Amino acid sequence: MVALHLGVFAVFLPGTFSWGAVALCAVLHWLTAGVGITLGWHRLLTHRSFQTPKWLEYILVFCGTLAMQGGPIWWVGLHRHHHLYSDQDVDHHDSSKGFWWSHMEWMFYKVPVEREIPRFTKDIADDPIYQFQDKYFYWIQAVFVFVLYLIGGLPFLVWGGIIRLVLVYHTTWLVNSATHTFGYRTYESGDRSTNCWWVALLAYGEGWHNNHHTFQYSARHGLKWWEFDATWIMIQVLQQLGLAWKIKLTGEK
Q: pLDDT (tens digit, 9 = 90+) per residue, 19-38?
A: 999 999 999 999 999 999 99
| Exposure on the CB side of residue 197, measured as CA atoms within 13 A | 6
Distance CA 70, CA 73 (A): 8
- Sequence length of the chain is 253
Which pLDDT tens digit goes with each residue over 65-109?
999 999 999 999 999 999 999 999 999 999 999 999 999 999 998
3-state helix, strand, coil split of the chain in percent (to 5) is 65, 0, 35
Chain centroid, CA 253 distance in Å: 25
Per-residue pLDDT reduced to its tens digit, 115-136: 999 999 999 999 999 999 999 9
Q: Which residues pair with 245 in a beta bridge?
A: 51
Asked if residue 10 has pLDDT above 80, the reply is: yes
Q: Mean pLDDT, to the nearest integer, of 128-147? A: 98
Contact indicator for 125, 73 with CB cutoff of 8 Å: yes
Confidence grade of residue 253 (pLDDT, cut at 50, 70, 90) = very low
pLDDT bucket at 111, cuts 50 / 70 / 90? confident
List pLDDT tens digits, range 152-208.
999 999 999 999 999 999 999 999 999 999 999 999 999 999 999 999 999 999 999
Residue 84, C-beta contacts closer than 8 angstroms, at least 6 positions apart: none
- For residue 251, name the pLDDT band (cuts at 50, 70, 90): low
Contact, 184 vs 195, CB < 8 A?
A: yes
What's the mean pLDDT in 52-59? 98
Q: Is 80 exceeded by the pLDDT of residue 246?
A: yes
DSSP SS3 for 143: helix
What's the one-letter identity of residue 243? L
The pLDDT mean for the chain works out to 96
pLDDT at 110: 85
C-beta of residue 153 within 8 angstroms of C-beta of residue 67:
no
Across residues 200-218, what is the average pLDDT?
97
